[in-house]
Amino acid sequence: MSEEIKDAGVVVPRAMVQSYVLNGVLGVVFLVTYLFAIVDLDGAINDDTGYPFIYVFRNAFSLTAVNVLCAIVITLVFAGTLSYNLSTSRQTWAFARDDGLPFSAWIGQVNPKLEVPANAVAVTCTITLVLSLINIGSDVAL
C-alpha cells in the first residue's frame, strides 16, 4: 500500500513510528486505569466467564454499561481482525504475484470486477478461520 503514497520512503516510516508511540501511550494509560479498577485479582482470574475484563466491568458498572463496553471490545477485536486479514491478504497477493507461493497463479489473481485480490483475501480468511477453530478446540480440551 505504501507504493501508492507520495514520498513513501519518508511518510510511511514516520506514520509507523507515530502510530507506535501514540498507541503505546494510550495503551499505558488504559492499562493503568484498568489495573486500578481491579478490586479482587483472584476473583478476576477465576471468573466464571473466563474473561477477567468482564469481571472488572461488572464490579465497576451497571449491566447496561457492561454490555456496551463488551460490545465496544468485540467491535475492536473484529475491526483489528479485519485489518490484519486485509493487510495479510495484500502481502499474500504480492508474494503470490511474484510466484512465491504454491498455487500462485490462482492466489495472485485480481478480481476484474471488484479490482481486489479476492482469492488472496479468501485464502487468508480461511487460514484465520482454521486457526481460530484450532484455538477454540484447544480451549475446549482444557
- What are the sequence ranges of the domains in the chain? 69-141
Transcribe the chain into DSSP letters.
Answer: -GGGSTTHHHHHHHHHHHHHHHHHHHHHHHHHHHHHH-S-HHHHHT-TTS-HHHHHHHHHS-HHHHHHHHHHHHHHHHHHHHHHHHHHHHHHHHHHHTT-STTHHHHT---TTT-S-HHHHHHHHHHHHHHHHHHHHHHHH-
pTM (2 d.p.): 0.65
Instruction: Express each pLDDT in 23-62 by its tens digit.
Output: 999 999 999 998 888 888 898 899 888 889 999 999 989 9
Instruction: Express each pLDDT in 68-85 by its tens digit.
Output: 999 999 999 999 988 999
Please report the pLDDT score of residue 54 as a whole number: 92
Phi/psi region, residue 116 (left: phi>0; alpha: psi -120 to 50; beta: rest), is beta
Count of residues in the chain: 142
Average pLDDT taken over every residue of the chain: 89
Instruction: Express each pLDDT in 85-137 by its tens digit.
Output: 989 999 999 999 999 999 999 999 999 999 999 999 999 999 989 998 888 87
Cell numbers 507515530 correspond to 18
Q: CB under 8 Å to 120, separation ≥6 — which residues?
A: 89, 90, 92, 93, 96, 107, 108
